[in-house]
Amino acid sequence: MNRLGDLERAVMEVLWQRSEPMTVREVGRALHERDLAHTTVMTVLDRLAKKGVVDRAREGRAWRYRPAASRESYVSELMFDALGQTGDRDAALAAFVRSMSEDEAEALRRALGEIDEPRT
């Protein structure tokens, strides 16, 4: 993974851990072991804001950033996409198995039972 992607992840982790919006300086301080330049943190937050994964609001002279949604909701969004439950997004992703009806799942369970424990 590239360095920028790695930084974006680290910054998101920090934002997800804190419950309140943070300034660039606060994010930089939380990642002090990485020894990042102020402008680097600002660039990363700016990129994340452009991607729509963080929201920002001006407070006094500084911007405050917070995640647009929780980690869990992003994971769910990806899974929703993947299982083809989001309407006409089919061509974007090809799931190994789409979500299916209970009937079909039952038929598969029966077939699997026959293979896993062959009847004597």
Partner 1 sequence: MVSAALLAAIAVGCFVAAARLRRASWPYRGPYVAVIAWQALGLAWGISTIGALLAFGLSVYGQGVFGGLLALIGDASAHGFYLTGAAKSPFAPVQVAAILVALGLTLVLFCGLTASFVQVVRTRRRHHDLLELVGRDDPGVPGARILDHPAAAAYCLPGVLRSEVVISAGALKVLDERELAAVIAHEHAHLRQRHDLVLLPFSSLKRAFPRVRIMEGYYRTVALLIEMCADDQARRERSPKELATALMRFGANNAHTPIGALAATSEQTEVLARVKRLLTPVRALTRAQSAAVLCGAALLMAVTVLLWHVPV
* Chain contacts with partner 1 (rule: CB under 8 A): 1, 5, 8-9, 12, 51-53, 71, 74-79, 81-83, 85, 87-97, 99-109, 111-112, 115-116
In whole angstroms, the minimum distance from the beta carbon of 61 to partner 1 comes to 28
Q: What is the Cα–Cα distance from 42 to 23, expressed in whole angstroms?
A: 9
Phi, psi at 116, each rounded to 5°: -65, -45
3-class secondary-structure state, position 86? coil
| Residue 62 neighbours by CB under 8 Å, 6+ apart | 23, 24, 25
Please say which residue, 33 or 102, places its beta carbon nearer to partner 1: 102
Minimum CB separation of residue 115 from partner 1 in Å reads 6
> Would you give the DSSP letter of residue 51?
T
- Kindly state the smallest distance separating residue 98's Cβ from partner 1, in Å: 8
What is the residue whose two structure tokens read 């500084």?
62
Identity of the residue, 32 or 110, whose beta carbon is nearer to partner 1 in the bound complex: 110
CB of 65 to partner 1, least distance (A): 14
